[in-house]
Structure 1
Amino acid sequence: MTDPTPTSSDPAPIDRKLLIEGLGKGLRVIEAFSDDRPRLTATEAGVLTGLTRTAARRYLLSLVHFGYAATDGKYYWLLPRVLRLGQAYLEAARIPRLVQPYIQRASMQCGETFNVGSLDGQEIVYLARSNAPRLISIGFHPGARVPAHVVAQGFAILSTLDDAALDTWIARHDFTNFTGATLDDPVVFRSNVVAARALGYAQADQYLSFGLSGLAVPLKDRKGRCQYALSVTVQRQMYPDDQLVAQLLPVLREVAETLRPIL
């Protein structure tokens, strides 16, 4: 039997009478902005969030008033103040602080950069990063988000889902091709996730960037549940043939087993 999905530990639904619906709508407006949509009109924001133009405009103007957005009268865009929302999590959450000394020790041991991340919908969001002893280190900074199908952490976490949950996730995902080596065929992608499930680790070779390879293992807690993954990203030329797995998989597994009793 496979492990439950990463959302299995979510709290029970809250009585809607206790919710502030306006807060949820305001957060949806913030989330409507993206790399592809850095500037939005009230009409565009309304379409993206399911709100009327008038309602979207009120939320956008509120964001402007409180310093989270700016406007030229037609378009709206987010301001750096929004980063406080994510930074508050990184500073207050237990997991980044818990794993930091362990991934830092692993980094000093082998000279590479290690990351811990979690699956958030269709993306991996990186929560912690070691500081590699090298002058130029490779990896993702805390807060970075990438499509789950292009990084080893995505394969590692998805490999802990049961077949039904995995199929549901795949059906919702946009398999954008980044390098030509990206696994953009859902059938091939699924077979690779299933293979990672059997191996207990996942590898991603130039799926996101040329010349970079990643290796990841699921981080499971004492009950076998998985909400996080541990990974290392390297220059593939430094680890020819099977050297990446041979040299760094034991390090990843050792850290994962050490963390398991305290996650």
Structure 2
Amino acid sequence: MPPPPPLPSPQPPGLERRDWIAGLERGLGIIEAFDDEHSRMTASEAGQRTGMTRTAARRYLLTLQHMGYVATDGKLFWLTPRVLRLGQSYLESARLPRIVQPFLQRVAAGTHENAYLSVLDGDEVVYIARNGPSRSMNTGYVLGARIPAQVTASGMLMLALQPPEQVAHWLATRPLKVFTSHTIAHKEQLATEFDRIRAQDWALSEQQLDLNSRGIAVPLRDRHGEVVGALNVTMPMGHESSADAAARVLPLLREIAQAMRNLV
């Protein structure tokens, strides 16, 4: 995997230079540089992935070690569980995950499937709330899971419902990663799917990330009609057809999304 692009300019739109703290940006950039393919890195590797020199990256890593967010054996650095506090702070303080829980419970009880609320963060879907039957709560996505948007029902839905110019830019600039033989790998095909999703205002994704997984999603809109997330259910393939699955869960998803409209 190539390293991410260099850190952005230290004066993003809408923020005065005197208010910009570049060190905070770089410290968070170091944390975000760790992933499944880079779970342990030297200071040089961390510097390469964040656009820093080895010396600068090492200073940030040692500071993070002092704060308890990073551990080291003297050469390699890795994240500690303390980093989870950052995500937990969001889940405990954000209003949306708390509001949606009783509604997700209704979806799960009415469909006997795992129900989720997800938001779009760049090119990924982040699952910020979930509920499901006890028999299957050990499966599916965990809270905070980040999944490429192009291969999930909720991700395709939120991408498709963006302004047309943003959708066109996304298609023109993003490579499409293939996960299974069913993953949509051609941009023309994905653009056609986006058109279908916009027209029907819901999305279906089957076997694109996992050969045994199907997802159905509807938009969660606020009182002004703005999309703030997606409500979706996941289910295993093979028990029913796509049409039967949609007929079973889509009416309830839409009902719940409408009921939440004046609350978010």
In structure 1, runs of 5+ residues without a counterpart are 1-11
Matches within 5 A, 1:179-194: 179-194=180-195
Give the equivalent residue in structure 2 for 1:38.
Answer: 39
Contact 2:114–2:136 (8 Å) recurs in 1: no
Rounded Cα–Cα distance in structure 2 between residues aligned with 1:88 and 1:221 = 23
Q: Structure 1: which amino acid aligns with 2:66?
A: H
Change (3 A) 1:206 1:93: same
Contact 1:64–1:70 (8 Å) recurs in 2: yes
Give the equivalent residue in structure 2 for 1:139.
Answer: 140
Give the equivalent residue in structure 2 for 1:23.
Answer: 24
Q: 1:75-130 CA distances to partner (integer Å, 9 max, x unpaired)?
A: 11111111110111011110100100001012112211100000101100000001
Contact 1:203–1:213 (8 Å) recurs in 2: yes
Give the equivalent residue in structure 2 for 1:231.
Answer: 232
Rounded Cα–Cα distance in structure 1 between residues aligned with 2:175 and 2:74 = 33
Q: Structure 1: which amino acid aligns with 2:182?
A: A
Identical-residue share of aligned pairs (%): 44
Rounded Cα–Cα distance in structure 2 between residues aligned with 1:227 and 1:170 = 21
Rounded Cα–Cα distance in structure 1 between residues aligned with 2:210 and 2:21 = 42
Matches within 5 A, 1:1-263: 13-135=14-136, 138-263=139-264
TM-score normalised by length of structure 1: 0.92
Rounded Cα–Cα distance in structure 2 between residues aligned with 1:191 and 1:81 = 43
Rounded Cα–Cα distance in structure 1 between residues aligned with 2:109 and 2:211 = 25
Higher RCO (C-alpha under 8 Å, 6+ residues apart): 1
Offset of residue 241 of structure 1: 4.3
Contact 1:112–1:137 (8 Å) recurs in 2: no
Q: How many equivalent pairs are there?
A: 252
In structure 2, runs of 5+ residues without a counterpart are 1-12
Secondary structure of residue in 2 paired with 1:238: coil
Q: Structure 2: which amino acid aligns with 1:134?
A: R
Offset of residue 238 of structure 1: 2.1
Contact 1:111–1:134 (8 Å) recurs in 2: no
Contact 2:112–2:132 (8 Å) recurs in 1: no
Q: Structure 1: which amino acid aligns with 2:214?
A: S
Rounded Cα–Cα distance in structure 2 between residues aligned with 1:137 and 1:153 = 21
Rounded Cα–Cα distance in structure 2 between residues aligned with 1:231 and 1:39 = 34
Rounded Cα–Cα distance in structure 2 between residues aligned with 1:163 and 1:109 = 34
Contact 2:29–2:50 (8 Å) recurs in 1: yes
Rounded Cα–Cα distance in structure 1 between residues aligned with 2:234 and 2:15 = 39
Rounded Cα–Cα distance in structure 2 between residues aligned with 1:175 and 1:52 = 31
Moved over 6 A (4+): none
Contact 1:107–1:133 (8 Å) recurs in 2: no
Rounded Cα–Cα distance in structure 1 between residues aligned with 2:138 and 2:56 = 45
Rounded Cα–Cα distance in structure 2 between residues aligned with 1:241 and 1:73 = 53
Query: RMSD across aligned C-alpha pairs, in angstroms?
Result: 1.4
Rounded Cα–Cα distance in structure 1 between residues aligned with 2:195 and 2:122 = 19
TM-score normalised by length of structure 2: 0.91
Change (3 A) 1:90 1:212: same
Q: Structure 1: which amino acid aligns with 2:249?
A: L
Offset of residue 139 of structure 1: 2.9
Q: Structure 2: which amino acid aligns with 1:38?
A: S
Change (3 A) 1:133 1:75: closer
Contact 2:158–2:219 (8 Å) recurs in 1: yes
Rounded Cα–Cα distance in structure 1 between residues aligned with 2:61 and 2:143 = 27
Q: Structure 2: which amino acid aligns with 1:214?
A: G
